Copies of this chain bind each other. A is one copy, B any other.
Amino acid sequence: MEKSMALFTDLYEVTMAQSYFKMGNIMATFELFVRRLPSNRGYLIAAGLEDVCNYLLNFRFDKNDLEFLEEKGFEKNFLKFLSRVRFTGDMWALPEGELVFQNEPIIRITAPIIEAQFFETFIINAINFQTLITTKASRIVNSAKGRPIIDFGSRRAHGVDAGLKAARASYIGGCIGTSNVLAGKLYGIPIFGTMAHSYIEAFSSEREAFKAWLRTEGIDTVLLIDTYDTLRGVKNAIEAVEELTGRKELKGVRMDSGDMLSLSKEVRRFLDEAGFNSTKIFVSSGLDEYVIDEYLSKGAQIDVFGVGSSLVTSDDAPKTDMVYKLAESEENGRLVPRMKIAEGEKATLPGAKQIFRVEEDGKYVKDILGLTDENLNGERKLIQIFKDGRLVYKLPKLDEIREKAKKELEKLPEKYRRIRNPEAYPVEVSDKVMDLGRQLMRKLLP
């Protein structure tokens, strides 16, 4: 992403910017967080920061952007000002691969309010989606108890960008790779794939199709056996290999339909009886963490899972309530805490905050949300990414992020990791933050 995405923003950011431009571009702090974890989620894994960094580095309004805003009625002197706007502030963030819980800042930005406010739409867009998919991937990976998971979802992702980002997020979450070739090229993720049903159908019989494939691709390949009838398919596969090579070796067979639980057991038996003991069974279609958990608990004979739609749309939780909220703004030359009170659950915690994560015997036991200048127990999880508009953080390699996610998740007790009805990880709020909140409430709603 080298092009500026400054105009990927909501119109109200621009109308507010024009108002601030006239009244004074005060300093402000915004924090990005989710109020509640989506259902059945006991944790989230933060992801998307790299895109946010690139976005901030490239942030500017080009001539076309400004002309469009002029058409929309914005004033010339404001647009002249906008043409010079760059990100000049500070950003603190949870690195990608770190665990995050309810109300915890994932990103904190302090900058002139016109800048900081503009970033809202893009930052939520980038972090919300990749965090959702990384988390979904980690759940699916955990459900497979060590068996590899491959992202097969590009076609059902919500657009091209989602297909690519889902491949990256899935890899961070523990998948071994993706079927998406472009994601492989852009991110260096391992890519997987062999044949589709259309290949089999393009021949007058399944056995002919297998033989044609084996002739060009050899036996280090995966044959798709369910185009017509899975059990005939596995026999055809076995016989095609034996006939062509005289060997009892094939990397794998794949099933993409039918009752996978019982079929996988029969396919395993057929393979073993024919001496194809090392041949792996790949399964795709309709999979998610719940289905995989059920299959494995009932003894399914599956070695590798290809997961598509559910993974890349996080279909049981396709959205979070992620927001980017004002925590401080300037008054009489200094930053003072701000909050939204509102009705119901939409109140926010005031002040610039830090996450303090408390570990005991190698396991995380609780987090405390405190003010940045507090000295609380626990590791400070937000680190500085930008200082005065300069990137002061070395973006880690994708494999490092993936490793980080794995290690962090291992430190989280199992009761918070369950795929159904996990317990809520304790996130305490420091006394200072609570006091600030009470003071502000009294002032704002006297």
Q: Which residues of A contact B (CB under 8 A)?
A: 5, 7-16, 18-19, 22-23, 26, 28, 30, 64-65, 68-69, 72, 113, 117, 120-122, 124-126, 128-129, 152, 154-166, 179-182, 184-185, 191-199, 201-202, 204-206, 212-213, 216-217, 226-230, 232, 256-259, 263, 285, 309-310, 313-315, 318-320, 322, 325-326, 329, 331, 338-344, 346, 444-445
Check B216–A18 contact: CB distance below 8 A. yes
Cross-chain contact of A202 among B14, B113, B194, B229 (Cβ < 8 A): B113
Provide 16 A-B residue pairs closer than 8 Å at the C-beta atoms, listed in order of the A residue: A15-B195, A19-B216, A23-B212, A120-B155, A121-B154, A121-B155, A122-B160, A125-B154, A125-B156, A204-B331, A226-B342, A228-B445, A229-B343, A232-B445, A258-B344, A315-B318
Check B161–A257 contact: CB distance below 8 A. no
Cα(A16)–Cα(B179), bound, Å: 13
Cα(A161)–Cα(B11), bound, Å: 18
Name which residue of chain B comes closest to A227, CB basis.
Answer: B340
Check A14–B181 contact: CB distance below 8 A. yes
Check A163–B202 contact: CB distance below 8 A. no
Instruction: Enumerate chain B residues within 8 angstroms of A164, measured Cβ to Cβ.
Output: 8
Would you give the shortest CB distance from A373 to chain B, in whole angstroms? 21
Check A8–B158 contact: CB distance below 8 A. no
Name which residue of chain B comes closest to A339, CB basis.
Answer: B201
Check B159–A199 contact: CB distance below 8 A. no
Would you give the shortest CB distance from A106 to chain B, in whole angstroms? 14
Cα(A285)–Cα(B319), bound, Å: 13
Would you give the shortest CB distance from A216 to chain B, in whole angstroms? 5
Name which residue of chain B comes closest to A125, CB basis.
Answer: B155
Instruction: Enumerate chain B residues within 8 angstroms of A161, measured Cβ to Cβ.
Output: 158-162
Check A196–B16 contact: CB distance below 8 A. yes
Name which residue of chain B comes closest to A71, CB basis.
Answer: B185
Cα(A192)–Cα(B206), bound, Å: 56
Check B156–A159 contact: CB distance below 8 A. no
Cα(A202)–Cα(B69), bound, Å: 24
Instruction: Enumerate chain B residues within 8 angstroms of A65, measured Cβ to Cβ.
Output: 185
Cα(A418)–Cα(B306), bound, Å: 35
Would you give the shortest CB distance from A200 to chain B, in whole angstroms? 8
Q: Which of A195, A216, A325 has the most CB of B within 10 A?
A: A216
